[in-house]
Amino acid sequence: MRDSTYSLYTFRGVKPRAQWDPRVLDDLEGDIESKDVGEVSIVARDAVSAKKRCEEGRWVRLRHTATRALLPGELSAQARGTIVGDAAFDQAWVPLIDAIEQASGDYAIGSWVHISFLSEKHRFHPSGSPFLRVKVQKDGHGHLQVGGDSSYRYLPGAAETLVPQGWRKPTNKYQHGFTSPLPAGFTFTQALHRGLSALTSAVEYSSDDYLLIHGEAAGTMSFLDGFHPTPKGQLIYHHLPVTEEVRAALQARMDPFGGYCPKNVDLTAEDREAFITRHKTLASIHDWTDDMIQEAIVHGA
């Protein structure tokens, strides 16, 4: 859990490439300003461990440029206090948020957490169900996404409510859900609070839903053992803490489907350029993030 002993460290260096990219070796030599240079920020207890985590995210030739103390909302206790003090927020989610925060405190660059909300309406199947996804971008900022698949019908007024709050609405059939940037130094408590609150305006979901949770940011996910694990096929569903009587009633209605979850694969520069070329007529295509393009490719774009 983050406290005041942590700081936000910023470095300047050569941006990450895929491990198999032959240009990785070229990035290690020559004038650094001739390379694809950028900044990355990460929360850590000291500059040495911060730099190491950036290097694990495949940044190279790093130079420390800035350090600042964490803002109140970037500390675990204060972020949790904001949730507890939010009268409009369903407090049933707090135990799960606490567990994810504990597991993801030193999250890695590129790591992510994805939660699908499974109910009878969608036959307890991940496909088509509401979801929330948080990803740590290469520069240490976050990308938050909530919604459903391309056929999902959002609640009336969803865009009118969320866009003024800083969310970006889907603009074509390949974009699934509303997206929001997160500043470097964000906590998963902040991200989940913002995401779950937005879901209330966008989709029908409930703290009675079964949950399919996966991702790299929360480590081995062993903390999920305390959230009613329910195996089915290749997947394990979970549920917020309830009494055994309530759980038995829920399971009597639940018939989840097995499946698999594809690994996150970095988007190459060539893939990005090819996608933009194929879809150059789409509005603001050059502003699409790698996540948006990857999602479109997965769904056949």
Q: For position 261, what pLDDT does the model report?
A: 47
pLDDT tens digits along 32-81: 888 889 999 999 999 999 999 999 999 999 999 999 999 998 999 999 99
Rounded CA separation 96/102 (Å): 10
Residue 110's SS3 state is: coil
Q: For position 117, what pLDDT does the model report?
A: 94
For residue 63, which of 10, 108, 110 has the smallest C-alpha distance?
10
32 burial level (CB within 10 Å; 0-12, 13-18, 19+):
middle
| Number of DSSP helices (H) and strands (E) in the chain, helices first | 9, 10
Confidence of residue 283 (pLDDT cuts 50, 70, 90): low
State both tokens at 221. Answer: 């996910």
Largest CA distance in the chain: 66
Cα-only R_g, the chain: 20
Q: For position 199, what pLDDT does the model report?
A: 95
Rounded CA separation 26/214 (Å): 35
Q: Where are the domains of the chain?
A: 7-70, 75-253, 269-298
CA 218 to chain centre: 11
Rounded CA separation 118/130 (Å): 8
pLDDT tens digits along 228-281: 988 776 788 899 988 889 888 888 877 666 554 444 556 788 888 888 888 887
User: Which pTM was predicted?
Assistant: 0.82
Q: For position 299, what pLDDT does the model report?
A: 53
Q: For position 48, what pLDDT does the model report?
A: 97
- The angle formed by the CA atoms of residues 287, 292 and 293, to the nearest 5 degrees, is 85
pLDDT tens digits along 184-214: 999 999 999 999 999 999 999 999 999 999 8
